[in-house]
């Protein structure tokens, strides 16, 4: 990847997140699976995750998160001129999730552009980058980016290592140009790992018309392969990312990682050679929320004061692909 020439102006005016009403504790998982009490917590490092109800659709949750972000900014939906959906899995194939969110926000007759970006768990980071480019080019002035995911729709509890660690939720940010900036960004895909994390059913290859074999409608993860590919490339990726922005590790006030797993969060700390106090970790309370993880942890950091104006945050993570991605923001 060539070195970008500019630091695009990008100011996050508001953030918001939404957790489904139903909370599934690891004690409940132990009971459900017939495990010894405490096993789920001890094995996967998670206390609880939230599970979306039937009315808590992807677009419903996205709009709840978006309204909280708009409130923080003091904006209304009519202030927006671009809506970017950045989910791991869309609500439905046609039309895109951003369209459904635009309609729920009362923008159905507005003409506000709405479409989706999909980089699985890193969709939010790619959409932030796209928003910054659109702002810089004068193609948009005020942008909503949201990520909303319902992992529970595709989990296979007979493979608890790929089921126990996921949770549902949504988060959003509203953006404009201004004093904030993306100081560095990077994204690398190692498609040799494309089989490590797969949801096969729901597209053109595996679907009801063509037949769905047992298990193809459930998320399949070879955690060992995913971790192997990601950890092989992560240290050098992070070094390149920081070098691109002329940044030292010490300049990072706050790391907002994808909450992939307890193991992945420990690895991020080691790869960055930064103390755990710098890394915002909410995994035990939310699980891995696919694309919603990074903006949820961003919202958490903003609302708890862990990320303050003028500080520097590193958003980073891995996604199915396997892709590695990151963005350093001056908040």
Site for its own copies in 213-232 (CB under 8 A): 217-219
Phi, psi dihedrals of residue 197, rounded to the nearest 5°: -135, 110
The nearest distance, CB 178 to its own copies, in angstroms, is 15
Among 319, 316, 321, 285, residue whose Cα is nearest residue 300: 285
- Which of 9, 95, 274, 303 is in the footprint of its own copies by CB under 8 A? 95
Q: Per this entry, what is the length of the chain?
A: 331
Note whether 133 and 9 are within 8 A (CB). no
Q: Which stretch binds its own copies (CB under 8 A): 21-29, 184-192, 257-265, 292-300?
A: 184-192
Contact pattern from residue 129 through residue 148 relative to its own copies, giving x for each residue in contact according to CB under 8 A and a dash for the rest = xx--xx-xxxxxx-------
Residue burial 96-134, b: 16+ Cβ < 10 Å; e: rest: bbbbbbbbbbebeebebbbebbbbbbbbbbbbbbbbbbb
Query: In the complex with its own copies, which residue's Cβ is closer, 247 or 274?
Result: 247
| Locus of tokens 């996604």 | 319
Phi, psi dihedrals of residue 96, rounded to the nearest 5°: -70, 160
Cα atoms in the Cβ-side hemisphere of radius 13 Å centred on 128: 37
Q: Which stretch binds its own copies (CB under 8 A): 12-20, 186-194, 280-288, 305-313?
A: 186-194
Query: In the complex with its own copies, which residue's Cβ is closer, 26 or 118?
Result: 118
Strand partners, 185: 327
Q: Does 173 bind its own copies (CB under 8 A)?
A: no
The nearest distance, CB 24 to its own copies, in angstroms, is 16
Residue of 87, 118, 254, 258 marked catalytic: 258
Residue 280's Cβ-count burial label (10 Å; 0-12, 13-18, 19+) is: buried
Q: Does 75 bind its own copies (CB under 8 A)?
A: no
The encoded tokens of residue 30 equal 């132990």
Q: Does 247 bind its own copies (CB under 8 A)?
A: no
The encoded tokens of residue 47 equal 């206390």
Q: Would residue 197 show up in a list of annotated catalytic residues for this protein?
A: no
**Alpha-carbon dihedral sign for residues 58, 218, 198, 272:** positive
Q: Which stretch binds its own copies (CB under 8 A): 1-9, 36-44, 262-270, 271-279?
A: 1-9
Q: Would residue 118 show up in a list of annotated catalytic residues for this protein?
A: no
Residue of 121, 197, 254, 267 marked catalytic: 121
The nearest distance, CB 129 to its own copies, in angstroms, is 8
How many residues in the shown chain lie near its own copies by CB under 8 A? Answer: 92
Subset of residues 263 to 322 that bind its own copies, contact rule: CB under 8 A = 319-321
Active site residues: 121, 258, 288
């Amino acid at each position: 990847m060539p070195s970008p020439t500019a630091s695009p102006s990008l100011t996050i005016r508001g953030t918001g997140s939404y957790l489904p009403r139903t909370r599934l504790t690891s004690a409940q998982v132990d009971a459900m699976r017939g495990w010894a009490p405490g096993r789920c917590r001890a094995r996967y490092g998670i206390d609880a995750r939230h599970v979306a109800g039937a009315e808590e659709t992807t677009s419903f949750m996205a709009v709840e998160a978006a309204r909280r972000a708009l409130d923080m900014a003091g904006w209304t939906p009519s202030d927006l001129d671009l809506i970017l959906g950045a989910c791991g899995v869309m609500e439905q194939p046609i039309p895109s999730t951003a369209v459904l969110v635009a309609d729920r926000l009362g923008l159905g007759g507005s003409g506000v552009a709405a479409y989706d970006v999909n980089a699985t768990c890193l969709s939010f980071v790619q959409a932030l980058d796209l928003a910054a480019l659109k702002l810089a080019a004068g193609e948009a002035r005020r942008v909503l980016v949201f990520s909303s995911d319902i992992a529970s729709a595709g989990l296979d509890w007979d493979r608890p290592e790929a089921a126990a660690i996921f949770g549902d939720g949504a988060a959003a940010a509203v953006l404009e140009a201004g004093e904030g900036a993306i100081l560095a960004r990077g994204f690398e895909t190692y498609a040799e790992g494309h089989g490590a994390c797969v949801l096969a059913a729901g597209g053109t290859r595996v679907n009801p018309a063509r037949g769905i074999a047992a298990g193809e409608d459930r998320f399949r993860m070879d955690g060992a392969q995913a971790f192997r590919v990601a950890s092989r490339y992560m240290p050098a990726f992070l070094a390149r990312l920081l070098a691109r922005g002329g940044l030292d590790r010490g300049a990072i006030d706050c790391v907002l990682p994808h909450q992939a797993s307890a193991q992945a969060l420990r690895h991020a700390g080691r790869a960055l050679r930064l103390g755990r106090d710098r890394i915002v970790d909410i995994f035990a309370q939310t699980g891995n929320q696919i694309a919603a993880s990074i903006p949820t942890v961003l919202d958490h950091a903003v609302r708890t004061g862990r990320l303050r104006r003028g500080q520097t945050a590193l958003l980073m993570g891995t996604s199915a692909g396997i892709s590695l991605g990151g963005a350093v923001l001056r908040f």
